[in-house]
Structure formats: C-alpha cells, structure tokens
Amino acid sequence: MCRERYFAQRGFSLISAIFIVLILAALAGYAASVAINQSHASALDALGARALAAARSGAEWGAYQSLRLNSCAASTTLSFTGTPLDPISVAVSCIRTTSNEAGATLTFDSITALACNQAPCPNAGAGANYVERQITMVVAH
C-alpha cells in the first residue's frame, strides 16, 4: 500500500510540473507578442514623425515659392533622397485666388503638402506600414 501511494504522488508531481511549464511558456509567448507589437507601434510612430517633418518642409517650400518667387505651381513632388527623411515623398499643390479688399488686390495661395512613405501620395492600396501626414497653409501677399 505504501508503494501505491508513492507512485500516485509521483504521477501528480509530474502532471503539476507539466502544467506549470505550459503556463510559463504561454506567459512567455504573450510577453514576446506584446514586445513585438510595441516595437512595431514605436517604429510607425517614428515614421509618422518623419512624415510630419517632411510635410512641414513641403509647406515651407511652397510658401517660399509663393512669397519670394511669386510662383504657385499646381503640383510638385519633392523627395528627400540621402537624408533621414529618405523613404518619404511630398506632393505639394498650390491654388491661387485673388480678392479685392477696399480697392487693393490681394493674392492668396493655398498650399497643401501631403507626405507619405509609399508613392504615390495618397496610396489607397498601401499596407499596414503606410504613413501619411498633410499640412495646409494659406499665404497672402
């Protein structure tokens, strides 16, 4: 009888050990999954910040063209090859309107800069890593 109790307790210990190992493996898998998702989200956040910087650059370029060169190009694409903004391109568009204000003619240029990491911008068929940022400004002169 003593022998039967020994084998019964030994079998219970084996089952408990396997159960604990499975629980720990599941927790490790969950932790790895969370870490991977967090890393991916962080990379997309950094890419979004770079796209915003590129959109700002495109809007400033359009404002320079408007104010200094009196130019309002309907559509221009800017690329940043060889810079930290390299995978991002910016589509800059400008619409010019004029208005008569108390006898003075004012010119308004509406500049839109759309930056994305997968050309063409906007890219409706882009995948999960697609990032897009847009800035619009109005310049009067």
Q: Please compute the mean of the pLDDT values over residues 44-62 and round it to a whole number.
A: 93
What is the Cα–Cα distance from 55 to 137, expressed in whole angstroms?
Answer: 11
Question: Do the Cβ atoms of 132 and 115 come closer than 8 Å?
Answer: yes
What's the pLDDT score for residue 37?
83
Give the best-scoring range by mean pLDDT among 3-17, 31-45, 57-71, 117-131: 57-71
* Location of structure tokens 């969950």: 30
Number of domains in the chain: 1
Q: How many other β-carbons are positioned within 10 Å of the β-carbon of residue 38?
A: 10
pTM of the model: 0.72
pLDDT band at 20 (very low <50, low <70, confident <90, very high): very high
Domain housing 78: 2-140
pLDDT band at 26 (very low <50, low <70, confident <90, very high): very high
Is residue 44 scored above 90 in pLDDT? Answer: no
What's the pLDDT score for residue 21?
93
Read off the pLDDT of residues 92-126 as tens digits, 9 standing for 90 and up.
Answer: 999 999 998 888 899 999 999 999 988 777 777 77
